[in-house]
Amino acid sequence: MAPALLVSIDLATYSKSTQGLQSSALSYIGNVFTNVTPETVDLALTHLQQSVGRYANYLGVTSLTSIDDVISLLDAGAAKVFVTRSQLDELLSRKISQDRLVLALPGNTKEEIINAIGGTQVDIYTHQVSDLGLVEAWLKEYGTDRPDVFVSFANPDMNSVLRLSKLAAIPVVPAEKLTVDPKSETSSLSVAKLIMANATSDRPDGLYTTLVTDERGVALGLVYSSEESVAESLRTGRGVYQSRKRGLWYKGESSGDIQELVSISLDCDSDCLRFVVRQKGRGFCHLATATCFGEYSGLSKLQQTLQSRKASAPEGSYTARLFNDAQLLRAKILEEATELCDAQTKEEIAFEAADLFYFALTKCISAGVSLEDVERNLDAKSIKVKRRKGDAKPAFIQFAPAQSNGVSEKEKVKEAASVPKSKSDPAGTKDGRITMRRYITSQETPETITSVLQRPSQRSNETIVNIVNPIIHAVKTRGDSALLEYTHKFDRATSLTSPVLRAPFPPELMKLSPETQHAIDVSFSNIYKFHAAQSEDKPLVVETMPGVTCTRFSRPIERVGLYVPGGTAVLPSTALMLGVPAMVAGCKKIVLASPPRADGSITPEIVYVAHKVGAEAIVLAGGAQAVAALAYGTESVSKVDKILGPGNQFVTAAKMIVSNDTNAGVSIDMPAGPSEVLVIADETSNPVFVASDLLSQAEHGVDSQVILIAVGLNETQLQAIENEVHEQAMRLPRVDIVRGSIEHSITLVCETMEEAMELSNAYAPEHLILQVRDAESVVESVENAGSVFVGEWTPESVGDYSAGVNHSLPTYGYAKQYSGVNLASYLKHITSSNLTKEGLRNVGGAVMELARVEQLEAHRRAVSLRLGVE
Ligand SMILES: NC(=O)c1ccc[n+]([C@@H]2O[C@H](COP(=O)([O-])OP(=O)(O)OC[C@H]3O[C@@H](n4cnc5c(N)ncnc54)[C@H](O)[C@@H]3O)[C@@H](O)[C@H]2O)c1
Ligand SMILES: N[C@H](CO)Cc1c[nH]c[nH+]1
Ligand SMILES: [Zn+2]
């Protein structure tokens, strides 16, 4: 909407002027006109910075002001800039919207004015007009289709300004000529009079309908105004209205619930005034509610609550905690932002966005920033002309393609946000090179070393559990239909109608190239050999005393469920690692589960492995839903006794939850999460090999971590490895993932092998690679590791696929207490005792005495009655 009046000010002198309309009142009518010269551009930019979002600025510029300066002024928030003809053409050719430009013309001859209006559709500004008749004539000629016309006078007076307003041109009046005090000297123009001259009243009492709103536009109530009440409002800077019964009404005078005036404007057809106010006290309504339509709702209500909590939060309230714990608030904002990114359905998105708004507003309120400030900022941004490209910051780029079926966005964003970077270096890089951060252990405290060795932060348990629990419950109670729903949602396999593929598997579903089939067969055979060798050929039998024989024998776990990950990469090798030992152990029922591809099919390599290990079925599902189906069974998935296999945080959490449910009757192998490797290198190691091993695990996912411990390497040797890491990484198809994982990967430089092993044992890596002199002798010092790779000819990837060892290994440091998957993972050990009469005589005394100590008489008698003793 066009402004009713422009107040022209001289930037250089205005703030010091005591004449005319003061700056406190400027914003009440909301439109300021300023002349800008090359000398005052900076002043104008500062003025815009302070006022943009509070009122509209119209800037006239001289022909000497450069085009770039004009663009800067527009970009800084000027509503419109008044330019010369040549500037106008140039700016339009640069695609600046004509709505933001006004053609400025001297307009004292009819020809000049007619030419200008006839030739353009942009708004016109003509200044120093002395002949009002001229303006009247051209406005009549061009009627309502003309562009808006702004006119400044050589000598404005109330009559000419009013006449001009009625002609629907926009008067430009110097601030010193205006006053908000109707009783001031007569030569000043009353702002109230100028505003009200344009207003119309359709009421018999001649009052003006007035809508009162807060700064966010929320209606507080309806009142009436007169020219006198508007003048009083402008003079006092308060909400003043005209009561139909009591005359002038200074809102809040008796109740104390006063209003600060923010602005006064007219609606589109000038028959309704709008007062924007800052309401103080209990609210606007006489019933002491925020508005005459009841209390606030939505964001306004949230803001009200947070502001009152900030003033006096109940001790122990969650909001009070957030106000006092910046770290917690930061973590919650990051968490909610990523949950919003992960949300899929309308309900989820609304739910997560509401959470994010809550925490974001808490941050604002704690810093004294209001919703109004935020909205002013949004408005200011909306009129910028130089748009930023809008690309994500480098740290977040690697996460851009939404991974609906695997990697946790939250986790990645947390990581990205937690590592301080220089402005120009994307994640995982330094000076543009893919580089691991380097620490010299002798120069750091043990605390620093422990902290840099931390695995990339995981989603809080609570959050993951909150996501996973409902999934488990749904599958447990609704079976197949819930299982399919989640597969449609997370794996996009919307055409899938049955969640299980049963053996015998059709040959067309496991067609492989001869090379792939051969590779699987070779790996199968090696894994088989190594795991078969782990079996005990006969039970363990020990006679502990004459006639007392103790035996231990093993039995296979009857039904096993094997989880094969398929989120960021499909891993048929994991099917081998889990399936072959199950087969060797003699498990009667082997069921695989793996997320299907988007078309509902399963990778032929996995089907082939399932066939080779004698699996009875493949569950076409991933994540927590697959784990729940295996644990509880569904109409088509048969329940298992143990679930094995690695996976992301949802899989790991679901495994933990079902194994804790005594009704499920299911156990698990171990927590096996994002892949990790620790390489120990000394001066004998080959930088090419070292780098290749580090990268082989870094490429698994951005949540992987790789560590290099360099023993006694000098700068040249360290740089040789770093060069290799960069060069090799740049040639990898998954270089973006590598950048992500390298960002939280480090090199530790230490002096001795002893120190290196101490660090490694404390870290307890999933994979430990020893590329050092006499590597075999170092194995003795290994206390904690999932699997060890000895010497320069043993890359970790041989263990991942084909050497024979298992690659399903404990991560997160769990190598301190868990073994990787092995034959025993599929077996139970049962013990038996077998005593002769003599044996019972030999051991019976001890039994009876201990039963007596424990006061368990029946235990004691089970022996004494047999032996016929008391
Ligand atoms: N430690 C080991 O022995 C070992 C071995 C192989 C792989 N790994 C690791 O296993 C992991 C495999 O993870 P992955 O993600 O690639 O595959 P995955 O199969 O473990 O997870 C994919 C599933 O996660 C679920 N999911 C994804 N986003 C979800 C969300 N927002 N809410 C609920 N569920 C969601 C979906 O159901 C999807 O099917 C990797 O970190 C890899 O490094 C570890
Ligand atoms: N290195 C992974 C275990 O952390 C296993 C794997 C499968 N494929 C390739 N690698
Ligand atoms: Zn691997």
Residue 323 lies in a domain: no
Closest CA to ligand 2's atom 4: 675
Q: Select which of 767, 792, 796, 807 is catalytic.
A: 767
Same domain, yes or no: 556 and 525: yes
- Which atom belonging to ligand 2 lies closest to the Cα atom of 569? 8
Residue 432 lies in a domain: no
Is the CB of residue 96 below 6 angstroms from any atom belonging to ligand 2?
Answer: no
Closest CA to 113 of 143, 85, 139, 87: 139
Write out the DSSP string of 764-822.
--SEEEEESTTHHHHGGG--S-SEEEESTT--HHHHHHTSSS------TTGGGT---S-
Is the CB of residue 585 below 6 angstroms from any atom belonging to ligand 1?
Answer: no
pLDDT over 90 at 119, yes or no: no
Look at residues 643, 668, 693 and tell me which one is the last residue of a structural domain.
Answer: 668
Stretch 422-449: mean pLDDT, rounded? Answer: 79
Which has the higher per-residue pLDDT, 24 or 418? 24
Is the CB of residue 176 below 6 angstroms from any atom belonging to ligand 1?
Answer: no
Is the CB of residue 647 below 6 angstroms from any atom belonging to ligand 1?
Answer: yes
pLDDT digits 0-9 by tens, 653-675 = 999 999 999 999 999 999 888 99
Same domain, yes or no: 778 and 694: yes
> HSE of 527 in the Cβ direction (CA atoms, 13 Å)?
33
Stretch 773-802: mean pLDDT, rounded? Answer: 97
Residue 448 lies in a domain: no
pLDDT of 428 reads 66
pLDDT of 250 reads 94
pLDDT over 70 at 145, yes or no: no
Is the CB of residue 820 below 6 angstroms from any atom belonging to ligand 1?
Answer: no
Measured CA to CA, the distance from residue 776 to residue 772 in angstroms comes to 9
Contacts of 67 (CB under 8 A, 6+ apart): 87, 90, 91, 94
How many Å lie between the centroid of ligand 3 and the Cα of residue 761?
Answer: 21
How many Å lie between the centroid of ligand 2 and the Cα of residue 699?
Answer: 10
Closest CA to 143 of 169, 125, 124: 169
Say if strands 589-593 and 559-563 run parallel, antiparallel, or are unpaired: parallel
Stretch 588-614: mean pLDDT, rounded? Answer: 96
Measured CA to CA, the distance from residue 124 to residue 147 in angstroms comes to 7
Stretch 469-480: mean pLDDT, rounded? Answer: 96
Measured CA to CA, the distance from residue 704 to residue 261 in angstroms comes to 57
Look at residues 274, 295, 316 and tell me which one is the last residue of a structural domain.
Answer: 295
pLDDT over 80 at 604, yes or no: yes
Is the CB of residue 571 below 6 angstroms from any atom belonging to ligand 2?
Answer: yes
pLDDT of 222 reads 96
Report yes or no: 681 and 711 within 8 Å, Cβ to Cβ.
yes
Residue 270 lies in a domain: yes
pLDDT of 403 reads 37
Query: In this structure, what CATH number is given to the domain that contains residue 82?
Result: 3.20.20.70
What six digits make up the tokens of 13? 């002198």
Report yes or no: 658 and 627 within 8 Å, Cβ to Cβ.
yes
The CA radius of gyration of the chain, in Å to the nearest whole number, is 39
Helix (H) or strand (E) segment spanning residue 417:
helix 409-418
Is the CB of residue 411 below 6 angstroms from any atom belonging to ligand 1?
Answer: no
Report yes or no: 49 and 76 within 8 Å, Cβ to Cβ.
yes
Distance of CA 26 to the CA centre of its chain: 41
Stretch 562-589: mean pLDDT, rounded? Answer: 95
Same domain, yes or no: 69 and 85: yes
Is the CB of residue 595 below 6 angstroms from any atom belonging to ligand 1?
Answer: yes
pLDDT digits 0-9 by tens, 44-68 = 888 888 887 777 787 888 877 888 8
Tell me, what's the ipTM? 0.97
How many Å lie between the centroid of ligand 3 and the Cα of residue 700?
Answer: 6
Report yes or no: 487 and 619 within 8 Å, Cβ to Cβ.
no
What six digits make up the tokens of 109? 């001859």
Return the best residue to mutate from 648, 652, 800, 821 for the ligand 2 pocket (most ligand atoms within 8 A of CB).
800
Same domain, yes or no: 734 and 684: yes
Mean pLDDT score across all residues of the chain: 88
Give the count of domains, the chain: 5
User: Considering only 247-261, 501-515, 750-764, which range has the smallest mean pLDDT?
Assistant: 247-261
Stretch 697-715: mean pLDDT, rounded? Answer: 94
Distance from first CA to last CA of the chain, Å, rounded?
Answer: 108
Report yes or no: 503 and 610 within 8 Å, Cβ to Cβ.
yes
How many Å lie between the centroid of ligand 2 and the Cα of residue 647?
Answer: 11
Same domain, yes or no: 656 and 696: no
State the residue range of the domain holding 63.
6-197
Helix (H) or strand (E) segment spanning residue 518:
helix 514-532
Residue 126 lies in a domain: yes
Query: In this structure, what CATH number is given to the domain that contains residue 720?
Result: 3.40.50.1980
Same domain, yes or no: 173 and 65: yes
pTM assigned to the model = 0.58
Same domain, yes or no: 714 and 851: no
How many Å lie between the centroid of ligand 1 and the Cα of residue 703?
Answer: 11
pLDDT of 670 reads 92
Q: Select which of 415, 743, 766, 792 is catalytic.
A: 766
pLDDT digits 0-9 by tens, 493-505 = 888 999 999 999 9
Residue 828 lies in a domain: no
Q: What angle do CA 219, 220, 226 make, to 5 degrees?
A: 100
* Phi–psi pair at 238, nearest 5 degrees: -125, 170
Same domain, yes or no: 22 and 104: yes
pLDDT of 416 reads 36
Same domain, yes or no: 241 and 282: yes
* Phi–psi pair at 37, nearest 5 degrees: -120, 170
pLDDT of 409 reads 38
Residue 406 lies in a domain: no
- Which atom belonging to ligand 2 lies closest to the Cα atom of 808? 3
The verdict on whether 112 is a catalytic residue reads: no
Closest CA to ligand 2's atom 10: 800
The verdict on whether 766 is a catalytic residue reads: yes
Is the CB of residue 810 below 6 angstroms from any atom belonging to ligand 1?
Answer: no
Instruction: Return the beta strands (E) in 507-641 as ranges.
Output: 540-545, 548-556, 559-563, 589-593, 617-619
Read off the pLDDT band of 199 (50, 70, 90). confident
Same domain, yes or no: 89 and 230: no
pLDDT of 412 reads 41
How many Å lie between the centroid of ligand 2 and the Cα of residue 322?
Answer: 40
Look at residues 197, 226, 243 and tell me which one is the last residue of a structural domain.
Answer: 197
Report yes or no: 209 and 199 within 8 Å, Cβ to Cβ.
no
Same domain, yes or no: 186 and 63: yes
Give me the percent of the chain exceeding a pLDDT of 90. Answer: 57
pLDDT over 60 at 163, yes or no: yes
Same domain, yes or no: 57 and 84: yes
Residue 376 lies in a domain: no
